[in-house]
Amino acid sequence: MSKPLRALFFASLTVLLAASSPSASSPGALGAVPTASPGPDLPLSVMTYNVMGLPWPVAFGREEALGQIADRLADLRAQRRQPHILLLQEAFIADPVEFARRAGYAHVAAGPDVAMRSPVTPLPADQAFLQDARWDRGEAIGKRMGSGLLILSDWPIMAVDRIAYPAFACAGFDCLANKGAMIAHLRVPGVAAPVAIVNSHLNARKAAGVPVARSLRAFDRQAGLLAAFVNRHVPRDRMMILGGDFNIGGDRQRVAAFFGQMARASMDFVALPLGGGRRALGDALLSDPTERHDLGEAIDRGKDWLFARDAAGSAMPVVQAQVPFGGPKATRLSDHVGYALSYASGGATIRFASLERR
Protein backbone atom coordinates (compact mmCIF):
# COMPACT_ATOMS: atom_id res chain seq x y z
CA MET A 1 0.00 0.00 0.00
CA SER A 2 1.36 3.45 -0.93
CA LYS A 3 2.15 5.87 1.88
CA PRO A 4 -0.45 8.53 0.83
CA LEU A 5 -3.13 5.85 0.49
CA ARG A 6 -2.23 4.53 3.91
CA ALA A 7 -2.71 8.03 5.35
CA LEU A 8 -6.16 8.29 3.79
CA PHE A 9 -7.13 4.92 5.20
CA PHE A 10 -6.05 6.12 8.63
CA ALA A 11 -8.11 9.25 8.26
CA SER A 12 -11.19 7.28 7.26
CA LEU A 13 -10.96 5.27 10.48
CA THR A 14 -10.95 8.29 12.80
CA VAL A 15 -14.19 7.59 14.63
CA LEU A 16 -13.66 3.84 14.88
CA LEU A 17 -10.14 4.10 16.26
CA ALA A 18 -10.95 6.87 18.69
CA ALA A 19 -13.75 4.75 20.08
CA SER A 20 -11.66 1.58 20.36
CA SER A 21 -8.39 2.99 21.71
CA PRO A 22 -7.53 1.72 25.21
CA SER A 23 -8.36 4.11 28.01
CA ALA A 24 -5.41 5.60 29.84
CA SER A 25 -7.37 6.96 32.76
CA SER A 26 -6.26 4.38 35.31
CA PRO A 27 -3.69 1.62 35.80
CA GLY A 28 -6.39 -0.94 35.09
CA ALA A 29 -5.60 -3.50 37.78
CA LEU A 30 -7.37 -6.79 37.11
CA GLY A 31 -7.20 -8.36 40.53
CA ALA A 32 -5.06 -9.23 43.51
CA VAL A 33 -1.46 -10.32 43.16
CA PRO A 34 -1.07 -14.11 43.16
CA THR A 35 -0.27 -15.29 46.67
CA ALA A 36 3.44 -15.69 47.36
CA SER A 37 4.34 -19.35 47.78
CA PRO A 38 7.48 -21.34 48.51
CA GLY A 39 9.65 -21.96 45.49
CA PRO A 40 12.86 -20.92 43.75
CA ASP A 41 13.87 -17.28 43.88
CA LEU A 42 13.64 -15.53 40.52
CA PRO A 43 15.50 -12.72 38.75
CA LEU A 44 13.44 -9.82 37.44
CA SER A 45 12.33 -10.70 33.89
CA VAL A 46 10.96 -8.29 31.28
CA MET A 47 10.06 -8.61 27.61
CA THR A 48 9.77 -5.96 24.91
CA TYR A 49 7.68 -6.73 21.84
CA ASN A 50 6.17 -4.62 19.07
CA VAL A 51 3.08 -6.71 18.34
CA MET A 52 2.18 -4.89 15.09
CA GLY A 53 -1.42 -4.49 16.26
CA LEU A 54 -2.36 -2.02 13.53
CA PRO A 55 -6.00 -2.12 12.45
CA TRP A 56 -7.48 -3.16 9.13
CA PRO A 57 -7.00 -1.97 6.37
CA VAL A 58 -3.49 -0.83 7.33
CA ALA A 59 -2.64 -4.40 8.39
CA PHE A 60 -4.50 -7.66 7.92
CA GLY A 61 -5.22 -10.55 10.27
CA ARG A 62 -3.90 -8.76 13.32
CA GLU A 63 -6.82 -9.53 15.64
CA GLU A 64 -6.21 -13.25 15.19
CA ALA A 65 -2.45 -12.79 15.63
CA LEU A 66 -2.95 -10.81 18.86
CA GLY A 67 -5.08 -13.65 20.19
CA GLN A 68 -2.30 -16.11 19.35
CA ILE A 69 0.20 -13.85 21.11
CA ALA A 70 -1.94 -13.89 24.26
CA ASP A 71 -2.28 -17.67 24.08
CA ARG A 72 1.48 -18.16 23.69
CA LEU A 73 2.06 -15.98 26.72
CA ALA A 74 -0.40 -18.13 28.64
CA ASP A 75 1.50 -21.23 27.53
CA LEU A 76 4.74 -19.71 28.82
CA ARG A 77 3.03 -19.17 32.17
CA ALA A 78 1.92 -22.79 32.27
CA GLN A 79 5.61 -23.71 31.80
CA ARG A 80 6.64 -21.18 34.50
CA ARG A 81 8.65 -19.30 31.86
CA GLN A 82 6.52 -16.18 31.47
CA PRO A 83 8.23 -12.78 31.76
CA HIS A 84 7.08 -10.97 34.89
CA ILE A 85 6.64 -7.73 32.91
CA LEU A 86 5.71 -7.07 29.27
CA LEU A 87 6.37 -3.86 27.35
CA LEU A 88 4.18 -3.87 24.26
CA GLN A 89 4.18 -1.39 21.38
CA GLU A 90 1.63 -0.99 18.56
CA ALA A 91 -0.79 -2.75 20.89
CA PHE A 92 -3.88 -1.09 19.43
CA ILE A 93 -6.14 -3.53 21.23
CA ALA A 94 -9.81 -2.75 21.76
CA ASP A 95 -9.88 -4.47 25.16
CA PRO A 96 -6.44 -4.57 26.82
CA VAL A 97 -7.98 -5.89 30.03
CA GLU A 98 -9.27 -8.98 28.24
CA PHE A 99 -5.95 -9.39 26.42
CA ALA A 100 -4.07 -9.31 29.73
CA ARG A 101 -6.49 -11.78 31.31
CA ARG A 102 -6.15 -14.15 28.36
CA ALA A 103 -2.36 -13.93 28.63
CA GLY A 104 -2.56 -14.58 32.37
CA TYR A 105 -1.41 -11.18 33.70
CA ALA A 106 -3.13 -9.71 36.73
CA HIS A 107 -2.28 -6.07 36.04
CA VAL A 108 -2.24 -3.90 32.92
CA ALA A 109 -1.82 -0.21 32.15
CA ALA A 110 -2.15 1.69 28.89
CA GLY A 111 -0.12 4.61 27.61
CA PRO A 112 -1.52 7.92 26.29
CA ASP A 113 -4.91 7.60 24.66
CA VAL A 114 -5.99 9.40 21.51
CA ALA A 115 -7.16 12.49 23.42
CA MET A 116 -4.11 13.17 25.60
CA ARG A 117 -2.05 16.25 24.67
CA SER A 118 1.36 17.51 25.73
CA PRO A 119 1.70 20.64 27.89
CA VAL A 120 5.22 21.33 26.55
CA THR A 121 5.54 24.85 25.11
CA PRO A 122 6.99 24.88 21.58
CA LEU A 123 10.22 26.71 20.88
CA PRO A 124 10.61 29.00 17.83
CA ALA A 125 12.28 26.12 15.97
CA ASP A 126 9.31 23.92 16.85
CA GLN A 127 6.92 26.47 15.38
CA ALA A 128 8.94 26.52 12.17
CA PHE A 129 8.82 22.71 12.08
CA LEU A 130 5.03 22.78 12.39
CA GLN A 131 4.68 25.25 9.53
CA ASP A 132 6.18 22.68 7.17
CA ALA A 133 3.70 19.94 8.13
CA ARG A 134 2.25 17.88 5.25
CA TRP A 135 -1.28 16.58 5.58
CA ASP A 136 -0.67 13.98 2.83
CA ARG A 137 1.98 12.42 5.05
CA GLY A 138 -0.26 12.23 8.10
CA GLU A 139 0.85 15.50 9.69
CA ALA A 140 -1.46 18.29 10.85
CA ILE A 141 -4.65 16.24 10.54
CA GLY A 142 -4.93 15.23 14.19
CA LYS A 143 -4.47 11.98 16.04
CA ARG A 144 -6.31 8.91 14.84
CA MET A 145 -5.11 6.39 17.43
CA GLY A 146 -3.69 6.30 20.91
CA SER A 147 -0.07 5.50 21.68
CA GLY A 148 -0.38 1.72 21.33
CA LEU A 149 1.63 1.28 24.54
CA LEU A 150 0.78 -1.34 27.15
CA ILE A 151 2.54 -2.64 30.24
CA LEU A 152 1.41 -5.99 31.64
CA SER A 153 2.67 -7.14 35.00
CA ASP A 154 2.52 -10.00 37.47
CA TRP A 155 2.93 -7.41 40.21
CA PRO A 156 0.62 -4.58 41.29
CA ILE A 157 0.82 -1.28 39.41
CA MET A 158 0.80 1.38 42.10
CA ALA A 159 0.76 4.43 39.81
CA VAL A 160 1.20 5.37 36.15
CA ASP A 161 2.75 8.47 34.57
CA ARG A 162 2.19 9.30 30.90
CA ILE A 163 3.35 11.77 28.32
CA ALA A 164 2.13 12.30 24.76
CA TYR A 165 4.76 13.63 22.40
CA PRO A 166 3.61 17.01 21.03
CA ALA A 167 2.80 17.77 17.41
CA PHE A 168 6.17 19.45 16.93
CA ALA A 169 7.88 16.21 17.99
CA CYS A 170 6.42 13.87 15.41
CA ALA A 171 6.98 13.44 11.69
CA GLY A 172 5.07 11.83 8.85
CA PHE A 173 2.65 8.96 9.28
CA ASP A 174 3.77 8.49 12.88
CA CYS A 175 1.77 11.63 13.71
CA LEU A 176 -1.44 9.70 13.17
CA ALA A 177 -0.79 7.80 16.41
CA ASN A 178 -0.51 9.68 19.70
CA LYS A 179 2.99 8.39 20.38
CA GLY A 180 4.44 8.97 23.80
CA ALA A 181 5.80 7.22 26.87
CA MET A 182 4.51 5.69 30.08
CA ILE A 183 5.96 4.72 33.44
CA ALA A 184 4.37 2.02 35.57
CA HIS A 185 5.50 2.02 39.20
CA LEU A 186 5.36 -1.58 40.41
CA ARG A 187 5.22 -3.04 43.90
CA VAL A 188 7.67 -5.93 43.53
CA PRO A 189 8.14 -8.49 46.32
CA GLY A 190 11.56 -8.16 47.93
CA VAL A 191 12.15 -4.57 46.75
CA ALA A 192 11.47 -1.80 49.26
CA ALA A 193 10.72 1.06 46.85
CA PRO A 194 8.55 0.90 43.72
CA VAL A 195 10.28 -0.32 40.56
CA ALA A 196 9.84 2.04 37.59
CA ILE A 197 9.06 0.42 34.23
CA VAL A 198 9.30 2.76 31.23
CA ASN A 199 7.83 1.96 27.80
CA SER A 200 7.99 4.13 24.68
CA HIS A 201 7.79 4.04 20.88
CA LEU A 202 9.78 6.67 19.00
CA ASN A 203 9.36 8.11 15.51
CA ALA A 204 10.22 5.93 12.52
CA ARG A 205 12.85 6.96 9.97
CA LYS A 206 12.07 6.30 6.28
CA ALA A 207 8.78 4.57 7.08
CA ALA A 208 7.47 7.92 8.32
CA GLY A 209 7.18 8.97 4.67
CA VAL A 210 8.97 12.32 5.05
CA PRO A 211 12.58 13.37 4.43
CA VAL A 212 15.03 11.66 6.78
CA ALA A 213 16.16 15.01 8.18
CA ARG A 214 12.59 15.82 9.25
CA SER A 215 12.01 12.44 10.90
CA LEU A 216 15.42 12.78 12.62
CA ARG A 217 14.45 16.11 14.15
CA ALA A 218 11.21 14.67 15.52
CA PHE A 219 13.09 11.63 16.82
CA ASP A 220 15.66 13.81 18.58
CA ARG A 221 12.95 15.93 20.22
CA GLN A 222 11.13 12.79 21.39
CA ALA A 223 14.31 11.31 22.87
CA GLY A 224 14.92 14.54 24.80
CA LEU A 225 11.34 14.65 26.04
CA LEU A 226 11.55 10.99 27.07
CA ALA A 227 14.71 11.58 29.10
CA ALA A 228 13.23 14.64 30.83
CA PHE A 229 9.97 12.79 31.52
CA VAL A 230 11.81 9.89 33.15
CA ASN A 231 13.97 12.17 35.30
CA ARG A 232 10.89 14.09 36.39
CA HIS A 233 8.97 11.02 37.57
CA VAL A 234 11.62 8.51 38.67
CA PRO A 235 13.83 9.32 41.67
CA ARG A 236 17.53 8.67 41.22
CA ASP A 237 17.50 5.99 43.91
CA ARG A 238 14.84 3.84 42.22
CA MET A 239 15.36 0.64 40.30
CA MET A 240 14.28 1.23 36.71
CA ILE A 241 13.89 -0.64 33.43
CA LEU A 242 13.54 1.37 30.24
CA GLY A 243 12.58 -0.28 26.98
CA GLY A 244 10.49 -0.25 23.88
CA ASP A 245 10.70 0.28 20.14
CA PHE A 246 13.12 3.19 19.94
CA ASN A 247 13.56 3.05 16.15
CA ILE A 248 17.26 3.88 16.45
CA GLY A 249 18.36 1.51 13.70
CA GLY A 250 21.80 1.75 12.17
CA ASP A 251 21.64 5.47 11.42
CA ARG A 252 24.66 7.10 13.08
CA GLN A 253 22.77 10.36 13.53
CA ARG A 254 19.99 8.56 15.38
CA VAL A 255 22.48 6.68 17.53
CA ALA A 256 24.16 9.98 18.42
CA ALA A 257 20.84 11.75 19.01
CA PHE A 258 19.29 9.10 21.28
CA PHE A 259 22.30 8.29 23.41
CA GLY A 260 23.34 11.93 23.47
CA GLN A 261 19.98 12.91 24.96
CA MET A 262 20.27 10.17 27.58
CA ALA A 263 23.82 11.23 28.48
CA ARG A 264 22.80 14.88 28.87
CA ALA A 265 20.06 13.72 31.25
CA SER A 266 22.68 11.77 33.28
CA MET A 267 21.02 8.47 32.44
CA ASP A 268 24.35 6.69 32.25
CA PHE A 269 22.84 3.20 32.24
CA VAL A 270 21.33 3.95 28.81
CA ALA A 271 24.36 3.53 26.57
CA LEU A 272 24.99 1.59 23.37
CA PRO A 273 27.11 -1.20 24.92
CA LEU A 274 24.68 -1.53 27.85
CA GLY A 275 21.71 -2.60 25.73
CA GLY A 276 20.39 -5.76 27.36
CA GLY A 277 20.16 -7.74 24.14
CA ARG A 278 23.78 -6.97 23.25
CA ARG A 279 24.91 -8.02 26.71
CA ALA A 280 22.95 -11.28 26.51
CA LEU A 281 24.61 -12.15 23.21
CA GLY A 282 28.05 -11.10 24.41
CA ASP A 283 27.72 -13.26 27.53
CA ALA A 284 26.44 -16.24 25.49
CA LEU A 285 23.28 -16.58 27.57
CA LEU A 286 21.34 -18.35 24.80
CA SER A 287 22.22 -21.96 24.02
CA ASP A 288 19.62 -22.44 21.31
CA PRO A 289 21.07 -21.40 17.92
CA THR A 290 17.69 -20.21 16.61
CA GLU A 291 17.19 -17.95 19.61
CA ARG A 292 20.73 -16.60 19.23
CA HIS A 293 20.06 -15.84 15.58
CA ASP A 294 16.76 -14.12 16.30
CA LEU A 295 18.11 -12.01 19.13
CA GLY A 296 21.08 -11.09 16.94
CA GLU A 297 18.68 -10.02 14.22
CA ALA A 298 16.76 -7.84 16.68
CA ILE A 299 19.98 -6.23 17.89
CA ASP A 300 21.21 -5.63 14.35
CA ARG A 301 17.93 -3.91 13.46
CA GLY A 302 18.44 -1.57 16.41
CA LYS A 303 14.77 -0.92 17.11
CA ASP A 304 13.87 -2.97 20.19
CA TRP A 305 15.86 -2.14 23.33
CA LEU A 306 15.99 -2.84 27.06
CA PHE A 307 18.13 -1.05 29.67
CA ALA A 308 18.09 -1.50 33.44
CA ARG A 309 19.62 0.16 36.49
CA ASP A 310 19.57 -0.75 40.16
CA ALA A 311 18.76 1.57 43.06
CA ALA A 312 22.40 2.67 43.21
CA GLY A 313 22.26 3.85 39.61
CA SER A 314 24.44 1.05 38.21
CA ALA A 315 23.54 -0.88 35.07
CA MET A 316 22.08 -4.24 36.06
CA PRO A 317 23.66 -7.37 34.55
CA VAL A 318 21.61 -9.70 32.38
CA VAL A 319 21.55 -13.23 33.80
CA GLN A 320 19.05 -15.01 31.54
CA ALA A 321 17.51 -14.51 28.10
CA GLN A 322 14.83 -16.09 25.96
CA VAL A 323 13.12 -15.29 22.65
CA PRO A 324 9.46 -16.33 23.00
CA PHE A 325 8.49 -14.69 19.71
CA GLY A 326 11.14 -15.60 17.18
CA GLY A 327 11.86 -18.42 14.78
CA PRO A 328 10.47 -18.43 11.23
CA LYS A 329 8.61 -15.30 10.15
CA ALA A 330 5.26 -17.09 10.34
CA THR A 331 5.73 -17.98 14.02
CA ARG A 332 6.82 -14.54 15.21
CA LEU A 333 3.26 -13.23 14.92
CA SER A 334 4.70 -9.74 14.20
CA ASP A 335 7.30 -7.99 12.08
CA HIS A 336 9.44 -7.67 15.24
CA VAL A 337 11.17 -10.23 17.43
CA GLY A 338 9.86 -10.41 20.99
CA TYR A 339 12.66 -11.14 23.46
CA ALA A 340 12.85 -11.33 27.25
CA LEU A 341 15.74 -10.68 29.63
CA SER A 342 16.21 -11.41 33.32
CA TYR A 343 18.16 -8.86 35.35
CA ALA A 344 20.21 -9.06 38.52
CA SER A 345 21.74 -6.43 40.77
CA GLY A 346 25.29 -6.08 42.03
CA GLY A 347 26.43 -9.21 40.25
CA ALA A 348 23.98 -11.42 42.15
CA THR A 349 20.42 -12.39 41.40
CA ILE A 350 17.79 -10.14 42.93
CA ARG A 351 15.82 -12.21 45.40
CA PHE A 352 12.10 -12.14 44.84
CA ALA A 353 9.39 -14.23 46.41
CA SER A 354 8.23 -16.77 43.86
CA LEU A 355 4.72 -16.15 42.60
CA GLU A 356 2.21 -18.94 42.48
CA ARG A 357 1.47 -19.65 38.81
CA ARG A 358 -2.15 -19.95 37.88
Could you report the per-residue pLDDT of 293-331, keeping only the tens digit for each? Answer: 999 999 999 999 999 999 999 999 999 999 999 988 778
Contact 127, 97 (CB under 8 A): no
pTM for the model stands at 0.88
Is pLDDT of 212 > 60? yes
Q: List the domains of the chain with CATH numbers.
A: 3-343 (3.60.10.10)
Residues forming beta bridges with residue 341, ordered by sequence position: 46, 321
pLDDT at position 59, please? 63
Instruction: Answer yes or no: are the C-beta atoms of 174 and 189 closer than 8 Å.
Output: no
Model confidence at 351, pLDDT cuts 50, 70, 90, reads very low
Strand 195-201 to 107-110 pairing: unpaired
Evaluate if residue 198 carries a pLDDT over 60.
yes
Q: How far lies 358's CA from each of 42, 45, 99, 141, 333, in Å?
A: 17, 18, 16, 45, 25
Q: What is the pLDDT of residues 31-71, one digit of tens each?
A: 433 433 323 345 899 999 999 988 765 665 688 999 999 99
Rounded to an integer, what distance in angstroms lies between the CA atom of residue 348 and that of residue 215? 41
Distance CA 50, CA 336 (A): 6
pLDDT band for position 81 (50/70/90)?
Answer: very high
pLDDT of residue 56: 60
pLDDT tens digit string along 278-298? 999 999 999 999 999 999 999
> Exposed, middle or buried, 293 (CB in 10 Å: 0-12/13-18/19+)?
middle
pLDDT in the model for residue 152:
98
At 233, the amino acid letter reads H
- The C-alpha atoms of residue 136 and residue 204 are separated, in whole angstroms, by 17
pLDDT in tens, 179-188: 999 999 999 9
Report the pLDDT value the prediction gives residue 349, as an integer from 0 to 100: 42
The pLDDT value recorded for residue 61 is 67
